[in-house]
Amino acid sequence: MKVQLLPSTFDAQGRATLEQRLTCFLIDDCVAVDAGSIAIALNAEQRSKVRDIIVTHPHMDHIASLPIFIDDLYPTLKHPMRVYATSEVIALLERDVFNWNVYPRFSDLKNDYGPVMEYIPIPTSGEFDVAHLKVTAVPVNHIVPTVGLLITDGKSHVAFSSDTAETEEFWKAVNGTRQLDALFIEASFPNEMAKLAEVSRHFTPSSLGKELQKLTHNGMDILAVHLKPTHRDTIIRQLHELNIPKLSVMNPGEIYSW
Ligand SMILES: [Zn+2]
Ligand SMILES: [Zn+2]
CA of 144 to the centre of ligand 2 (A): 11
Phi/psi for 86 (5° steps) reads -70, 160
pLDDT tens, 193-243? 999 999 999 999 999 999 999 999 989 999 999 999 999 999 999 999 999
Q: Determine what percent of the chain is predicted with pLDDT higher than 90.
A: 96
Q: List the beta strands (DSSP E) in 197-241.
A: 221-225
Q: Work out the pLDDT band at 14, boundaries 50, 70, 90.
A: confident
CA of 21 to the centre of ligand 2 (A): 9
CA of 163 to the centre of ligand 2 (A): 6
Q: Which ligand has an atom closest to residue 186 CA?
A: 2
CA of 75 to the centre of ligand 1 (A): 31
Cβ contacts of residue 89 below 8 Å, gap of 6+?
Answer: 55, 56, 57, 58, 145
Model confidence, pTM: 0.97
DSSP class of residue 106?
A: G
